[in-house]
Structure 1
Amino acid sequence: MFGDMMDMMGKLKEAQKKVEETKKRLDTVLIDEASNDGKLKVTLTANRTIKSIEIDDELLADKEQLEDYLILTLNKAIENATKVNEAELAAVAKEGMPNIPGMDMFK
């Protein structure tokens, strides 16, 4: 029984290490999003860090319109980045989970 417990602890530590490695890798996965008309483009990492924002000069003339564009486009980009992030981390967590009776909710 003690050996099983040590094996499970080892697997949990290995899974934790894989999750941390995946989080680092997600800093290099870029998510591009643009407004419907292409006047605003944003790039985020899958960890939801903004890397770049490109604004068409036409939007600079209207502060309210620019704010609306930023809100809509950034929210879409964050939503997409979150989906990628959660899918990647869930896959790693599922793969690394030891077989613990009653804990099959991750399978």
Structure 2
Amino acid sequence: MFGDIMGMMGKIKETQQKIEDTKKRLDTVLVDEQSSDGLLKVTLTANRAIKSVTIDDSLLEDKEQLEDYLVLVLNKAIEKATAVNEAELAAVAKDGMPNIPGMDGLF
């Protein structure tokens, strides 16, 4: 019995390390998004840190339009990055969790 608990604790600790390693790796995974006309482009990491923003000069003439573009494109990019982040972390967590009866539906 105690061996099972110790084994599960070791597995959980190993999974925690894999999650931390995955989070670090996600800092290097880039997600690109752009407006439908290509006038605004953003790049984020899968951990949702903005790496670059490219704005076409024509958008600099209309502050309101630029603000609208930024909100739309950044929200789309964050949504994509979040999906990548959650999928990667869920996969690591699911693979690393011990088989605990009744807990299989949680992951």
TM range (shorter): over 0.9
> Residue deviations 1:38-93, cap 9 Å, x none?
00000000000000000000000100000000000000000000000000000000
**2: CA distance, partners of 1:20 / 1:101:** 26
**1: CA distance, partners of 2:47 / 2:67:** 23
Aligned residue for 2:38, secondary structure, equals: coil
The reply to whether residue 74 of structure 1 matches residue 69 of structure 2 is no
RMSD, matched Cα: 0.7
The reply to whether residue 24 of structure 1 matches residue 24 of structure 2 is yes
Q: Percent of aligned positions with the same letter in both sequences? A: 78
TM-score (norm 1): 0.98
Gaps of 5+ in 1: none
Q: Which portions of structure 1, spanning 4 or more consecutive aligned residues, are displaced by more than 6 angstroms?
A: none
Q: How big is the shift at 1:105?
A: 1.7
**2: CA distance, partners of 1:6 / 1:38:** 55
Aligned residue for 1:86, secondary structure, equals: helix
Q: Partner residue of 1:52?
A: 52
**1: CA distance, partners of 2:16 / 2:51:** 27
Q: How big is the shift at 1:106?
A: 3.9
Gaps of 5+ in 2: none
Q: Partner residue of 1:101?
A: 101
TM-score (norm 2): 0.98
**2: CA distance, partners of 1:45 / 1:78:** 9
The reply to whether residue 13 of structure 1 matches residue 5 of structure 2 is no
Amino acid at match of 1:63: K
